[in-house]
Amino acid sequence: MLLLNASGCLDALTAPDVVAQLDAFVTKTVTPEARQGNPPVRIAETEHGMLNSIGLANPGRDVFLRETLPRLADTIDKPIWVSVGGFCSRDYVETCEQLARDDVACVELNLSCPNVDEAPESAAEIVRACREVTANPLYAKVSPHTWDMGQIVRAVEEAGADGVSMVNTLRGVALDARLQAKLARGVGGYSGPALKPVALAAVLAARRATSLPIVAMGGVQTGRDALELIACGATHVALGTVLFTDVDAPSRVCAELVEEAQRAGFERPDDAFCVALDAVAKLAN
Protein backbone atom coordinates (compact mmCIF):
# COMPACT_ATOMS: atom_id res chain seq x y z
CA MET A 1 0.00 0.00 0.00
CA LEU A 2 1.16 3.50 -0.84
CA LEU A 3 0.09 6.59 1.08
CA LEU A 4 -0.45 9.62 -1.15
CA ASN A 5 -2.03 13.05 -0.93
CA ALA A 6 -5.24 13.85 -2.76
CA SER A 7 -4.58 16.25 -5.62
CA GLY A 8 -5.01 19.87 -4.59
CA CYS A 9 -4.54 19.23 -0.88
CA LEU A 10 -0.81 19.82 -0.57
CA ASP A 11 1.77 22.18 -2.06
CA ALA A 12 5.08 20.33 -2.05
CA LEU A 13 7.06 23.53 -2.54
CA THR A 14 5.65 25.21 0.58
CA ALA A 15 5.41 22.02 2.67
CA PRO A 16 8.15 19.56 1.66
CA ASP A 17 8.22 18.20 5.23
CA VAL A 18 4.69 16.88 4.75
CA VAL A 19 5.55 15.32 1.40
CA ALA A 20 8.51 13.57 3.06
CA GLN A 21 6.01 11.54 5.09
CA LEU A 22 4.20 10.26 1.97
CA ASP A 23 5.14 7.49 -0.49
CA ALA A 24 4.34 9.61 -3.55
CA PHE A 25 3.20 13.17 -4.25
CA VAL A 26 0.23 14.07 -6.44
CA THR A 27 0.37 17.58 -7.97
CA LYS A 28 -2.43 20.08 -8.15
CA THR A 29 -4.34 19.60 -11.38
CA VAL A 30 -2.62 21.08 -14.42
CA THR A 31 -4.71 22.58 -17.22
CA PRO A 32 -3.51 23.75 -20.65
CA GLU A 33 -3.90 27.46 -19.80
CA ALA A 34 -3.06 29.24 -16.54
CA ARG A 35 -6.06 29.58 -14.24
CA GLN A 36 -6.52 31.97 -11.34
CA GLY A 37 -9.35 29.80 -10.10
CA ASN A 38 -12.74 30.90 -8.87
CA PRO A 39 -13.25 34.23 -7.07
CA PRO A 40 -13.14 34.25 -3.25
CA VAL A 41 -14.88 33.34 -0.95
CA ARG A 42 -13.88 29.82 -1.97
CA ILE A 43 -13.82 27.75 1.21
CA ALA A 44 -16.45 27.23 3.89
CA GLU A 45 -16.53 24.95 6.89
CA THR A 46 -19.67 22.93 7.49
CA GLU A 47 -20.74 20.81 10.47
CA HIS A 48 -18.90 17.69 9.36
CA GLY A 49 -16.65 18.75 6.53
CA MET A 50 -15.72 21.64 4.30
CA LEU A 51 -16.58 23.02 0.89
CA ASN A 52 -14.08 24.35 -1.59
CA SER A 53 -14.53 26.04 -4.92
CA ILE A 54 -10.87 26.67 -5.75
CA GLY A 55 -11.52 25.94 -9.42
CA LEU A 56 -8.24 24.34 -10.52
CA ALA A 57 -5.98 27.34 -9.90
CA ASN A 58 -2.66 26.49 -11.56
CA PRO A 59 0.09 28.16 -13.61
CA GLY A 60 -0.85 26.37 -16.83
CA ARG A 61 0.86 23.52 -18.65
CA ASP A 62 3.83 25.39 -20.09
CA VAL A 63 4.91 27.01 -16.83
CA PHE A 64 4.23 23.78 -14.96
CA LEU A 65 6.49 21.78 -17.28
CA ARG A 66 9.19 24.42 -17.52
CA GLU A 67 9.34 25.64 -13.90
CA THR A 68 7.14 23.79 -11.41
CA LEU A 69 8.00 20.21 -12.31
CA PRO A 70 11.81 20.71 -12.24
CA ARG A 71 11.49 22.53 -8.91
CA LEU A 72 9.36 19.72 -7.54
CA ALA A 73 11.88 17.12 -8.69
CA ASP A 74 14.67 19.11 -7.00
CA THR A 75 12.73 19.65 -3.77
CA ILE A 76 11.19 16.28 -3.03
CA ASP A 77 12.60 12.81 -3.16
CA LYS A 78 9.35 11.02 -3.98
CA PRO A 79 7.66 9.76 -7.14
CA ILE A 80 5.61 12.57 -8.69
CA TRP A 81 2.11 11.88 -9.94
CA VAL A 82 0.82 14.62 -12.21
CA SER A 83 -2.88 15.40 -12.03
CA VAL A 84 -4.12 16.41 -15.50
CA GLY A 85 -7.29 18.41 -16.10
CA GLY A 86 -9.06 19.95 -19.06
CA PHE A 87 -12.29 21.02 -20.66
CA CYS A 88 -12.27 18.66 -23.62
CA SER A 89 -10.53 15.42 -24.50
CA ARG A 90 -7.88 17.24 -26.53
CA ASP A 91 -6.77 19.24 -23.44
CA TYR A 92 -5.99 16.01 -21.62
CA VAL A 93 -4.30 14.40 -24.60
CA GLU A 94 -1.98 17.33 -25.31
CA THR A 95 -0.83 17.47 -21.69
CA CYS A 96 -0.30 13.72 -21.56
CA GLU A 97 1.85 13.91 -24.67
CA GLN A 98 4.22 16.24 -22.87
CA LEU A 99 4.50 14.18 -19.69
CA ALA A 100 6.78 11.48 -21.09
CA ARG A 101 9.64 12.58 -18.82
CA ASP A 102 11.77 10.94 -16.18
CA ASP A 103 10.39 13.15 -13.44
CA VAL A 104 6.82 11.91 -13.94
CA ALA A 105 5.98 8.60 -12.27
CA CYS A 106 2.29 8.48 -13.04
CA VAL A 107 -0.52 10.50 -14.61
CA GLU A 108 -3.85 10.92 -12.86
CA LEU A 109 -6.62 12.21 -15.11
CA ASN A 110 -8.90 14.48 -13.09
CA LEU A 111 -12.23 13.60 -14.68
CA SER A 112 -14.40 14.77 -11.82
CA CYS A 113 -13.70 18.29 -10.51
CA PRO A 114 -17.05 19.68 -9.32
CA ASN A 115 -15.79 23.28 -9.52
CA VAL A 116 -15.37 23.69 -13.27
CA ASP A 117 -17.36 22.79 -16.36
CA GLU A 118 -16.94 19.18 -17.37
CA ALA A 119 -15.52 18.01 -20.65
CA PRO A 120 -18.27 16.85 -23.03
CA GLU A 121 -16.63 13.46 -23.59
CA SER A 122 -17.14 10.56 -21.20
CA ALA A 123 -14.44 9.51 -18.76
CA ALA A 124 -13.75 6.41 -20.84
CA GLU A 125 -13.42 8.39 -24.07
CA ILE A 126 -10.83 10.68 -22.48
CA VAL A 127 -8.91 7.75 -21.01
CA ARG A 128 -8.88 6.00 -24.40
CA ALA A 129 -7.57 9.11 -26.15
CA CYS A 130 -4.83 9.63 -23.56
CA ARG A 131 -3.88 5.95 -23.60
CA GLU A 132 -2.96 6.28 -27.25
CA VAL A 133 -0.38 9.00 -26.57
CA THR A 134 1.24 8.03 -23.25
CA ALA A 135 3.16 5.09 -21.87
CA ASN A 136 2.96 6.54 -18.35
CA PRO A 137 0.86 4.65 -15.82
CA LEU A 138 -2.59 6.20 -16.24
CA TYR A 139 -5.08 6.58 -13.38
CA ALA A 140 -8.61 7.87 -13.86
CA LYS A 141 -9.99 9.95 -10.98
CA VAL A 142 -13.72 9.49 -11.06
CA SER A 143 -16.65 11.21 -9.45
CA PRO A 144 -18.79 9.83 -6.62
CA HIS A 145 -21.80 11.31 -8.44
CA THR A 146 -22.97 8.02 -9.89
CA TRP A 147 -25.31 5.20 -9.03
CA ASP A 148 -23.23 2.72 -10.97
CA MET A 149 -19.56 3.00 -10.06
CA GLY A 150 -18.97 -0.48 -11.45
CA GLN A 151 -20.04 0.53 -14.92
CA ILE A 152 -17.73 3.57 -14.95
CA VAL A 153 -14.78 1.61 -13.65
CA ARG A 154 -15.26 -1.18 -16.19
CA ALA A 155 -15.46 1.44 -18.95
CA VAL A 156 -12.22 3.22 -18.00
CA GLU A 157 -10.46 -0.12 -17.54
CA GLU A 158 -11.52 -1.21 -21.00
CA ALA A 159 -10.30 2.15 -22.32
CA GLY A 160 -6.83 1.39 -21.02
CA ALA A 161 -6.59 2.85 -17.52
CA ASP A 162 -3.95 1.29 -15.27
CA GLY A 163 -5.81 2.26 -12.12
CA VAL A 164 -8.64 4.34 -10.72
CA SER A 165 -8.71 7.04 -8.04
CA MET A 166 -11.79 7.77 -5.99
CA VAL A 167 -13.56 9.70 -4.67
CA ASN A 168 -13.34 13.30 -5.71
CA THR A 169 -15.40 15.76 -3.67
CA LEU A 170 -19.20 15.70 -3.66
CA ARG A 171 -21.04 18.76 -4.90
CA GLY A 172 -22.40 20.79 -1.97
CA VAL A 173 -23.76 24.15 -0.83
CA ALA A 174 -23.46 26.04 2.49
CA LEU A 175 -25.60 29.01 3.49
CA ASP A 176 -24.72 31.93 5.76
CA ALA A 177 -26.87 33.60 8.44
CA ARG A 178 -28.77 35.52 5.75
CA LEU A 179 -29.46 32.31 3.84
CA GLN A 180 -27.10 33.24 1.03
CA ALA A 181 -24.41 30.94 -0.36
CA LYS A 182 -21.16 31.25 1.57
CA LEU A 183 -19.06 30.48 -1.50
CA ALA A 184 -18.83 33.15 -4.19
CA ARG A 185 -19.51 30.50 -6.83
CA GLY A 186 -22.41 29.13 -4.82
CA VAL A 187 -21.56 25.47 -5.24
CA GLY A 188 -18.39 23.73 -4.09
CA GLY A 189 -16.82 20.35 -3.51
CA TYR A 190 -17.62 18.75 -0.17
CA SER A 191 -14.78 16.96 1.61
CA GLY A 192 -13.74 15.90 5.09
CA PRO A 193 -14.95 13.28 7.57
CA ALA A 194 -18.51 13.17 6.21
CA LEU A 195 -17.22 11.76 2.94
CA LYS A 196 -15.89 8.48 4.38
CA PRO A 197 -19.04 6.33 4.02
CA VAL A 198 -19.42 7.56 0.44
CA ALA A 199 -15.81 6.61 -0.30
CA LEU A 200 -16.22 3.17 1.30
CA ALA A 201 -19.28 2.44 -0.83
CA ALA A 202 -17.59 3.70 -3.99
CA VAL A 203 -14.49 1.58 -3.41
CA LEU A 204 -16.60 -1.51 -2.67
CA ALA A 205 -18.55 -1.07 -5.89
CA ALA A 206 -15.39 -0.42 -7.88
CA ARG A 207 -13.57 -3.41 -6.40
CA ARG A 208 -16.41 -5.71 -7.37
CA ALA A 209 -16.02 -4.47 -10.93
CA THR A 210 -12.25 -4.50 -11.39
CA SER A 211 -8.96 -5.90 -10.22
CA LEU A 212 -7.12 -2.69 -11.17
CA PRO A 213 -5.29 -0.80 -8.41
CA ILE A 214 -7.58 1.66 -6.60
CA VAL A 215 -6.28 4.82 -4.94
CA ALA A 216 -8.95 5.48 -2.33
CA MET A 217 -9.64 8.76 -0.60
CA GLY A 218 -12.50 10.56 1.10
CA GLY A 219 -12.68 11.58 4.74
CA VAL A 220 -9.60 9.73 5.95
CA GLN A 221 -8.63 11.22 9.32
CA THR A 222 -7.09 8.22 11.06
CA GLY A 223 -5.35 4.91 10.49
CA ARG A 224 -8.64 3.18 11.17
CA ASP A 225 -10.26 5.09 8.29
CA ALA A 226 -7.45 3.99 5.96
CA LEU A 227 -7.84 0.38 7.12
CA GLU A 228 -11.57 0.45 6.34
CA LEU A 229 -10.84 1.61 2.79
CA ILE A 230 -8.34 -1.24 2.40
CA ALA A 231 -10.94 -3.67 3.71
CA CYS A 232 -13.32 -2.40 1.00
CA GLY A 233 -10.74 -2.99 -1.70
CA ALA A 234 -8.38 0.01 -1.76
CA THR A 235 -4.89 -0.74 -3.01
CA HIS A 236 -3.53 2.66 -1.99
CA VAL A 237 -4.88 5.41 0.26
CA ALA A 238 -4.72 9.19 -0.17
CA LEU A 239 -5.17 11.95 2.40
CA GLY A 240 -7.09 15.12 1.59
CA THR A 241 -8.72 17.54 3.99
CA VAL A 242 -6.85 16.14 6.99
CA LEU A 243 -3.65 17.56 5.49
CA PHE A 244 -5.09 21.06 6.00
CA THR A 245 -5.52 20.49 9.71
CA ASP A 246 -2.60 18.24 10.63
CA VAL A 247 0.82 18.54 9.00
CA ASP A 248 1.85 15.34 10.78
CA ALA A 249 -1.13 13.38 9.45
CA PRO A 250 0.74 11.04 7.05
CA SER A 251 3.14 9.76 9.74
CA ARG A 252 0.34 9.51 12.27
CA VAL A 253 -2.03 7.68 9.91
CA CYS A 254 0.73 5.21 8.96
CA ALA A 255 1.52 4.42 12.59
CA GLU A 256 -2.16 4.11 13.50
CA LEU A 257 -2.81 1.91 10.47
CA VAL A 258 -0.36 -0.73 11.66
CA GLU A 259 -1.84 -0.66 15.18
CA GLU A 260 -5.42 -0.73 13.96
CA ALA A 261 -4.74 -3.65 11.61
CA GLN A 262 -3.32 -5.67 14.49
CA ARG A 263 -6.22 -4.69 16.72
CA ALA A 264 -8.56 -6.04 14.02
CA GLY A 265 -6.57 -9.28 13.87
CA PHE A 266 -4.34 -8.69 10.85
CA GLU A 267 -0.57 -8.90 10.99
CA ARG A 268 -0.14 -6.22 8.32
CA PRO A 269 -2.59 -3.62 6.93
CA ASP A 270 -2.51 -5.20 3.46
CA ASP A 271 -3.76 -8.48 4.99
CA ALA A 272 -7.11 -6.72 5.47
CA PHE A 273 -7.42 -6.14 1.70
CA CYS A 274 -11.00 -6.80 0.54
CA VAL A 275 -12.11 -8.51 3.76
CA ALA A 276 -15.28 -6.39 3.84
CA LEU A 277 -16.20 -7.36 0.29
CA ASP A 278 -17.95 -10.66 1.04
CA ALA A 279 -19.72 -9.52 4.18
CA VAL A 280 -21.17 -6.45 2.53
CA ALA A 281 -22.19 -8.45 -0.54
CA LYS A 282 -24.20 -10.81 1.70
CA LEU A 283 -25.94 -7.90 3.39
CA ALA A 284 -26.75 -6.31 0.05
CA ASN A 285 -28.38 -9.55 -1.10
Partner 1 sequence: MSKPRRERRSVVAVEAVGPYALVRVERGGLAPGSPGQFFMLEAPGRVLPRPMSLCLAPPGELAFLLDPVGPGTQALAELEPGDSIHVFGPLGHGFRLDVDRPLLVGGGIGVAPFPYLSEALEQPPAVLGFRSEHHAEAAVLVPHAEIVIDPVLVTEAMPTDRDVLACGPEPMLDAVRALCPDAQLAWEAPMACGFGACYGCVVEIDGELKRLCVEGPVLCSS
- Active-site residue numbers? 113
Q: Does 15 bind partner 1 (CB under 8 A)?
A: yes
Whole-number minimum distance, CB 37 to partner 1, in Å? 6
CA distances to 169, 181, 188, 253 from 220, rounded to whole Å, are: 13, 27, 19, 9
Whole-number minimum distance, CB 16 to partner 1, in Å? 11
Binding part of the chain for partner 1, among 35-43, 82-90, 142-150, 275-283 by CB under 8 A, reads 35-43
Q: Does 57 bind partner 1 (CB under 8 A)?
A: yes
**Residue from 2, 20, 41, 280 that binds partner 1 (CB under 8 A)?**
41
Angle, in degrees to the nearest 10, between helices 249-263 and 223-231? 60
Alpha helices in 88-162 (DSSP H): 89-97, 123-131, 149-158
Kindly write down the DSSP assignment for every residue of 183-200, as one continuous string: STTS-EEEESGGGHHHHH
| CB distance 207 to 157 below 8 Å | no
Residues between 178 and 197 with contacts to partner 1, criterion CB under 8 A: 192-193
Q: Does 222 bind partner 1 (CB under 8 A)?
A: no
The vertex-220 CA angle with 217 and 223, nearest 5°, equals 120
**Residue from 247, 255, 279, 281 that binds partner 1 (CB under 8 A)?**
247
> Which CB atom, from 53 or from 89, has the smaller least distance to partner 1?
53
CA distances to 95, 177, 216, 244, 249 from 44, rounded to whole Å, are: 32, 13, 24, 13, 21
> Which CB atom, from 37 or from 60, has the smaller least distance to partner 1?
37
Q: Does 36 bind partner 1 (CB under 8 A)?
A: yes
> DSSP 3-state assignment of 85?
coil
Residues between 98 and 117 with contacts to partner 1, criterion CB under 8 A: none
Interacting residue ranges for partner 1, rule: CB under 8 A: 8-11, 14-15, 18, 28, 36-37, 39-46, 48-50, 52, 54, 57, 192-193, 241, 243-248
